[in-house]
Amino acid sequence: MNPLRVTIWNEFVHEQENREVARIYPQGLHGALAAALRPFPEFTVRTATLREPEHGLTDEVLNQTDVLTWWGHAAHERVRDDVVARVHQRVIDGMGLVVLHSGHESKIFKRLMGTSCHLCWREAGERERVWVVNPGHPIAQGLGHCIELENSEMYGEPFGIPTPEEQVFVSWFEGGEVFRGGNCWTRGCGRIFYFSPGHEAYPIYHHPDIQRVIANGVRWARPQGRPADVPRHVPVEQAPEKITARGPSVHDAAGRLASAKS
């Protein structure tokens, strides 16, 4: 099997503006995530960040990306619409996408989900317990019953997402809330995994089980098939069954709209 080419995207803002975050993630959140994935020989890992030209997500980079991970929070609105459109098209064509934590409000996630993607939250350093609700799912492999995070940001319901196609994790919070924090969808040929833990003010991405989930998620999201060759006009003479065109028409033989005022 060829190596899985992973691009780790991070807006890389908090780490440059907040000393506490910089202390926890001296190489940036992207650096920590890359360091977590690099030991696996099956992955080749690169990173990209907001301030690079085209946010580091040029056609050339995406041509060499099987799975993209996305972390953003403070600068969602600064991500260019044309880059979002490009990433969206890649997902539809089969690239996997792993959306992390506050990436739930990113343009790309909202565009793929079609919903608000809003939620409740509280930053109190409280305990979170990420429960495996589907131990048979590949993303849950190697874990125990739950992952316990001593300090976490609370994300709570209602979470404005379409019904997950597969639910892998549901979180419990010390302050009394729950959250559907590990969810899978397919859009076009691309697989999308959202995973909620990862607040920048706590060392969550240094936790081995969190790293394991992200590695599993990247594996799960690898491209599965070929993109659909649509839109596609099927001329009458290429219909699988022999038919003859009948009745009025607003298109010409090539499927273009006929000129107006006919």
Between residue 238 and residue 257, which ones bind its own copies under the rule CB under 8 A? 239-241, 243-251, 255, 257
Q: How far is the CB of 78 from its own copies (least distance, A)?
A: 14
Question: How many of the other CB atoms lie within 10 Å of CB of 172?
Answer: 16
Question: C-alpha 255: how far from its chain's center?
Answer: 36
Q: How far is the CB of 111 from its own copies (least distance, A)?
A: 6
Q: How far apart are the first and last CA of the chain?
A: 57
Window 6-45: residues binding its own copies (CB under 8 A): 14, 17-21
Query: Distance between CA 59 and CA 254 in Å, rounded?
Result: 31
Window 148-167: residues binding its own copies (CB under 8 A): 148, 151, 154, 156-160, 162-167
The yes or no reply on residue 235 touching its own copies (CB under 8 A) is yes
Window 63-122: residues binding its own copies (CB under 8 A): 74, 92, 94, 111-116, 118-122
Closest CA to 31 of 21, 42, 41: 21
Q: Specify the residue, 46 or 126, whose C-beta has the smaller distance to its own copies.
A: 126
Q: How far is the CB of 52 from its own copies (least distance, A)?
A: 20
Given candidates 39, 138, 206, 208, which one binds its own copies under the rule CB under 8 A?
Answer: 138
Mention every residue, 6+ apart, whose C-beta is less than 8 A from residue 195: 98, 99, 100, 101, 169, 181, 182, 213, 214, 217
Q: How far is the CB of 208 from its own copies (least distance, A)?
A: 18
Q: How far is the CB of 113 from its own copies (least distance, A)?
A: 6
Mention every residue, 6+ apart, whose C-beta is less than 8 A from residue 196: 101, 104, 155, 169, 171, 179, 181, 182
Given candidates 135, 149, 193, 204, which one binds its own copies under the rule CB under 8 A?
Answer: 135
Q: Specify the residue, 46 or 201, whose C-beta has the smaller distance to its own copies.
A: 201
Q: Is 64 left (phi over 0), alpha (psi -120 to 50) or beta?
A: alpha
Closest CA to 153 of 136, 171, 128: 128
Number of chain residues interacting with its own copies (CB under 8 A): 100
Window 156-215: residues binding its own copies (CB under 8 A): 156-160, 162-167, 170-178, 180, 185-190, 200-202
Cβ(186)–Cβ(162) below 8 Å: no
Q: Specify the residue, 54 or 148, whose C-beta has the smaller distance to its own copies.
A: 148
